[in-house]
């Protein structure tokens, strides 16, 4: 499946989980998507293990409807990203438009702030399981959970399944 013509945003913040940003970034480009890293500023952000990511656009510059999907990596970044109103608005807008929202590990913290988990099936890193449940989601301890336009995974080891389902989601809409 080619993602040619698809535009995907990846939300970055300080101390993101290195693999959870870079693996989808590379995999989705490899599949043909145009992938942009968004952050609060255009300053290079570093992952928890020091891998840098240079944002293409700021949350303020990004226009939500320019994107077919958004990916929210985990690590400690989601707790910071969720404090940015424009980042949360991007996630809410894409979800409400039926576009893909994908989050892994602590990424669902942003989905909680976007108030899009109520009534959805989701997974996450075990440390925020209670938060996801309290936001109204049905928590499932699986490597990847797909519910309508929401894809969630638990941890870096789940990245192959996470990216496979992102690509598959688009193939079902062709």
Nearest to 112 by CA among 55, 152, 143: 152
Quick check: is 124 catalytic?
A: no
pTM above 0.85, yes or no: yes
**Which residue out of 22, 95, 105, 163 is catalytically annotated?**
105
**Which residue out of 22, 56, 95, 106 is catalytically annotated?**
106
Task: Average pLDDT across each block of 10 residues of the chain; the chain has 174 residues. List them in order.
Answer: 94 98 98 98 98 98 98 98 98 98 98 98 98 98 98 98 97 80
Quick check: is 105 catalytic?
A: yes
Residues 6+ apart with CB under 8 A from 113: 82, 88
Q: What is the pLDDT of residue 168?
A: 97
DSSP-derived secondary structure letter, 158: G
Q: What is the pLDDT of residue 174?
A: 65
Domains and CATH numbers, the chain: 7-171 (3.40.50.880)
């Amino acid at each position: 499946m080619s993602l040619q013509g698809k535009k995907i945003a990846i939300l970055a913040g300080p101390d993101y989980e290195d693999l959870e940003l870079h693996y989808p970034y590379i995999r989705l480009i490899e599949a043909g998507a145009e992938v942009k890293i968004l952050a609060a500023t255009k300053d290079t952000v570093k992952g928890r293990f020091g891998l840098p990511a240079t944002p293409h656009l700021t949350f303020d510059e990004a226009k939500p409807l320019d994107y077919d999907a958004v990916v929210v990596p985990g690590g400690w970044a989601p707790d910071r990203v969720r404090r940015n109103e424009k980042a949360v608005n991007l996630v809410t807008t894409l979800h409400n438009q039926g576009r893909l929202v994908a989050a892994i590990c602590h990424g669902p913290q942003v989905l909680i702030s976007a108030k899009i988990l109520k009534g959805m099936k989701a997974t996450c890193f075990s440390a925020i399981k209670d938060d996801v449940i309290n936001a109204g989601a049905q928590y499932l301890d699986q490597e990847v959970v797909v519910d309508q336009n929401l894809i969630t995974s638990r941890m870096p080891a789940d990245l192959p399944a996470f990216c496979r389902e992102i690509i598959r989601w688009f193939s079902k809409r062709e």
